Structure 1
Amino acid sequence: ERPERWEYRLTDEGRDLYPLIAELNRWGDRWLATDQGPPLITYHRTCGHELVPLVTCDHCGEAATAFSVTQG
């Protein structure tokens, strides 16, 4: 009751942003790590291992990099 509380529920739009957030976390882990390690480590709940996100093509499964994609 004090203070009033609301439950946050992730929207479809929020869930759709997850790949971007995961990739930003990966970038931060690589480029912003200190002597104590990366600022945030994400783990995959299903297997318990550290998650290293990878953008892949949804048709062939190959990794999509800045050099392997084009826009048109």
Structure 2
Amino acid sequence: MIVCHCEVVRCSDIRDAADMGACTVNAVCGATGAARDCGGCVFTVKRVLCEHLAAQDAAEPVVREVAS
């Protein structure tokens, strides 16, 4: 799905930017070009980024230390 029509940024572009280390809306917008023109997509960028980061957190195994 296209999130930013001005710069033709897709959800997959946002997820790829996050995978490359862009973990804030500002960083994602800088990496992808989203929200540079009209800014109408910024809330959708935030939603896609937050969902992707939450999914990554859920997929990571939890490591717990065992008291000896």
* TM-score, with structure 2 as normaliser: 0.29
Give the structure with higher Rg (CA).
1
* TM-score, with structure 1 as normaliser: 0.28
Task: Give 1 or 2: higher strand fraction.
Answer: 2
Greater RCO, 1 or 2 (C-alpha within 8 Å, sep 6+) = 2
Task: Give 1 or 2: higher helix fraction.
Answer: 2
